[in-house]
Structure 1
């Protein structure tokens, strides 16, 4: 067994932790742990819940990792481990705190061996490391869910592209490529309120407007990828997030639209790692 790293994916409502053997590209069996979080809680409670999740994964095999690597949304000074989230509905209580020091103290772990990385960048890094983009070097990544995550590779390093707020159509990109767009547009077409894309598929797949909805989305997504690709010149793209699970209804059309715009076929692949792409990306970022 090679060097073991504790990897964590911290979202707005959950934390997932697992021990990784990076050298051999394997997940340590029976160390996966996931629990819900209240990201509006106090700093002490949030850091306590993170620590409990990390300790749970470590205790499952009773092996101390050499590093603890955490993927987390920004804004953040990732190198120093200082959260800069201030105006979002999550983790406001962590603003300006040194999370490396706080976690190190709570876990009795050297803060120098605790590392933070951007979650969108980790998604792409993981897919390149052992996922659907294995063998590619220059690529872009999109996570399609409640919000829009974007990432790109520059000189071998994964970066958050931060394009969710890019001017797009009559608003910003996230207005058109997110769960919010699906629920809003579905209600405009049908007059019915739905919670998410899964509900649309499960309960309204045979409705008159289902094809219209996904046809519009595939067009929006292709236009966005085209603009993204124009600036970053990738060799491939990968999509992940909850909306990617509905690929059967939009991905073929997205590729077709993209081919028409670009004049060549840019590989657009669905993540094969799912949530594990972020965990692998975090574990291999330091």
Structure 2
């Protein structure tokens, strides 16, 4: 088994990378790097930036062989490493590029030393591999932030559930389970603009309206989750993303609503935070090793 693998989490405005010890299931101390990336830049500039960070991490610790796992947003051909992102405000210049081959060429490694997985799946894989749902079997993962990410565990492998566009209430799930819902709902109630959920949480103890908004969110989350939990027969749901940091304000309403539906599934808050996806990405090499035994 490979002892250490480079895990990478690619976001629309940054990338985070670190060497992951697959035995301890944790970040190798001193190797974490985070770099701003202009996702609207040219393909050459984006790849140059990625490779710069990758080389910086490998320079921090000697490894016998360079293996890389990358958590990447979709749409994406994860098996072959080809970007299919076309109609989003990010990574348009990478469309139809074989990133596995491009990175291998620039890093002087073989293409089969680079693996990709979906970023939402990477979050859940990380939390199952070394976080809040460690060794879980029937687990659902949600990332709650500017968008809604969702994944479930199938045969020990996290799979993107792509539930963000599921029909929900008068729109889709992401309309009600993202930062923009909080901003819109608070404005509806008060006529005031708030920057984000963190700012809203800071007002919670002073405003009954804010408490009401968080309670509504918790109820929405329960209504959205209930059929998914039942369909997957989930034992655990892991919540991550920036909104999950405000869980003390919406968790009671979420649990109460789930109880109404007679659902006793354990709700856990992510432990690995922003490094969950990169640990999950690195752990794909551990899963590959296990499957070959």
Per the normalisation by structure 1, the TM-score is: 0.95
Note the 1:202-217 alignment, pairs <5 A.
Answer: 202-203=202-203, 205-217=205-217
Partner of 1:90: 90
Partner of 2:69: 69
Partner of 1:278: 277
- 1:203 CA drift (Å): 4.7
- 3-state SS of the aligned residue for 2:88? coil
Query: Mind listing any 5+ residue stretches in structure 1 that lack a counterpart?
Result: none
Q: Deviations over 1:96-142 (max 9, x none)?
A: 00001111111112111011111111111111111111242111000
Note the 1:1-286 alignment, pairs <5 A.
Answer: 3-63=3-63, 65-203=65-203, 205-261=205-261, 263-286=262-285
Q: Deviations over 1:143-190 (max 9, x none)?
A: 000000000012222100000000000000000000011111111111
**Counterparts in 2 of 1:193 and 1:204: CA distance versus 1, 3 Å:** farther
- 1:31 CA drift (Å): 0.4
Conserved? CA contact 1:140–1:237, under 8 Å: yes
> Separation in 1 of the partners of 2:65 and 2:254?
42
Conserved? CA contact 1:238–1:270, under 8 Å: yes
Greater alpha carbon shift after TM alignment, 205-214 vs 44-53: 205-214
> Separation in 1 of the partners of 2:78 and 2:36?
23
**Counterparts in 2 of 1:138 and 1:56: CA distance versus 1, 3 Å:** same
> Separation in 1 of the partners of 2:255 and 2:115?
36
Aligned Cα root-mean-square deviation (Å): 1.5
Q: Deviations over 1:19-59 (max 9, x none)?
A: 11102323211000011111111111111111111111111
> Separation in 1 of the partners of 2:86 and 2:230?
32
- 1:220 CA drift (Å): 0.4
